[in-house]
């Protein structure tokens, strides 16, 4: 096996069910990757993720390079050994976090100089350094370093930024240690401009990567704008490589993106919502802080095979949430990840069995009303 291996098992027009194989395991797609920014999916033991059948998580270069440091993690045997997670890990390169968290930064051809949001120290991150860090982390899938732009952004600003990101992508490819079971993904940029997205996708294909991500989304655009960009961009990507939309996560966003041929997703929503008393259900998003749940003896979802989903009443979780008990965050975070895992499994099964439309209607029935919300990708 050279680098990572991807195969498509079933197609329904643009919709795909596939299999991605890396050093640490096999990933069935479409897949949702829980976010473990600091080598930890917040409030959830890695063993609980395994019980749910989670096959891959996402962690982050920007955060881990600062705390505890990529060299320490390398000495500890890599991120899998460090966090007791013997399964695949994808790491974001840190470009988005520099953009969203660092107030003072200087971007040049060489890379990015920025002030740490933790202690104010000056840090330099080049394309080569981003790859070196991810190599030290032992990431199954590394991402190229890219520059993120604000929303909305002018055509000229988006063009200049995208072209810089493409030059950085080539440098990342040259630095990457190509080896069995490990892959490098390119990131398509270009703002909301189809012409720039096409140029970016073509350039990345020319360089050659193991997979392709769509960046610069979930930064404030509407659901309709996001889907329009995904729809147009996937047409320019190699259909024999995995496609990944970074940072989107509401059920409606995922299902509409799967329709456009997207294979991989990540988002902080399941655990962030869990820490704030909110749960995803087939009836839509619910807020357990609401008084209407104070005497509700029903479980979150008895149909989900997860201890958190069917062992506690909404009344009890309401009580925990109102009193800011840590157990509330643990229950709701685990339930939300279980909900997403079941949704993705149902989507995949629907594709394989030619019943995707049924699954789509099932999950969008009460969740589609959120599609008009502005999309804003945030830290975990």
CB-facing half-sphere around the CA of 321: CA atoms within 13 A:
26
What does the alpha-carbon distance between residue 43 and residue 182 come to, in Å, rounded to a whole number? Answer: 28
> For residue 29, what are the contacts with CB-CB under 8 A and spacing of at least 6?
16, 17, 18, 19, 20, 242, 263, 264, 348
What does the alpha-carbon distance between residue 170 and residue 209 come to, in Å, rounded to a whole number? Answer: 10
- Residue of 70, 92, 135, 301 marked catalytic: 92
Whether the CB-CB separation of 182 and 143 falls below 8 Å is answered with: no
> For residue 325, what are the contacts with CB-CB under 8 A and spacing of at least 6?
none
What does the alpha-carbon distance between residue 135 and residue 141 come to, in Å, rounded to a whole number? Answer: 10
Four-point Cα dihedral 257, 258, 260, 261, nearest 10: 130
Q: Is 266 a catalytic site residue?
A: yes
Beta-sheet pairing, 141-143 with 264-267: unpaired
- Residue of 70, 135, 146, 266 marked catalytic: 266
What does the alpha-carbon distance between residue 223 and residue 26 come to, in Å, rounded to a whole number? Answer: 31
Q: Is 92 a catalytic site residue?
A: yes
> For residue 22, what are the contacts with CB-CB under 8 A and spacing of at least 6?
4, 56, 88, 140, 141, 181, 182, 183
Q: Which of 110, 64, 104, 58 is nearest to 85 (CA)?
A: 58
Return the active site residues.
Answer: 92, 266
């Amino acid at each position: 096996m050279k680098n990572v291996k991807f195969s498509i098992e079933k197609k329904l027009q643009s919709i795909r069910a596939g299999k991605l194989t890396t050093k640490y395991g096999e990933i069935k797609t479409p897949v949702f990757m829980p976010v473990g920014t600091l080598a930890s999916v917040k409030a959830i033991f890695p063993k609980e993720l395994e019980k749910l059948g989670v096959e891959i998580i996402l962690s982050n270069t920007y955060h881990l390079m600062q705390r505890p440091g990529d060299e320490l993690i390398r000495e500890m045997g890599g991120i899998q050994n460090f966090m007791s997670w013997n399964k695949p890990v994808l790491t974001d390169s840190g470009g988005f976090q520099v953009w969203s968290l660092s107030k003072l930064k200087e971007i040049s051809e060489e890379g990015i100089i920025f002030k740490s949001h933790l202690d104010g120290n000056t840090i330099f991150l080049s394309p080569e350094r981003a790859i070196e860090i991810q190599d030290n982390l032992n990431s199954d899938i590394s991402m190229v370093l890219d520059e993120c732009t604000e929303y909305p952004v002018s055509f000229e600003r988006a063009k200049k930024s995208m072209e810089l990101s493409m030059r950085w992508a080539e440098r990342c490819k040259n630095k990457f240690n190509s080896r069995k079971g490990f892959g490098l993904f390119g990131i398509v940029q270009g703002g909301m401009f189809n012409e720039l997205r096409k140029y970016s996708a073509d350039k990345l294909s020319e360089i050659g990567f193991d997979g392709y991500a769509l960046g610069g989304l979930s930064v404030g655009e509407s659901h309709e704008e996001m889907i329009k960009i995904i729809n147009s961009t996937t047409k320019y990507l190699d259909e024999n490589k995995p496609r990944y939309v970074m940072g989107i996560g509401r059920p409606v966003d995922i299902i509409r993106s799967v329709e456009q041929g997207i294979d991989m997703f990540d988002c902080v929503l399941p655990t962030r919502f869990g820490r704030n008393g909110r749960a995803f259900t087939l009836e839509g998003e619910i807020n357990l802080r609401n008084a209407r749940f104070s005497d509700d003896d029903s479980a979150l979802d008895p149909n989900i095979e997860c201890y958190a989903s069917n062992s506690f009443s909404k009344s009890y979780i309401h009580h925990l949430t109102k009193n800011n008990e840590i157990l509330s965050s643990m229950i709701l975070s685990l339930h939300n990840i279980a909900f997403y895992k079941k949704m993705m499994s149902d989507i995949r099964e629907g594709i394989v069995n030619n019943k995707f439309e049924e699954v789509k209607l099932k999950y969008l029935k009460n969740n589609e009303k959120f599609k008009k919300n502005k999309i804003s990708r945030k830290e975990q």
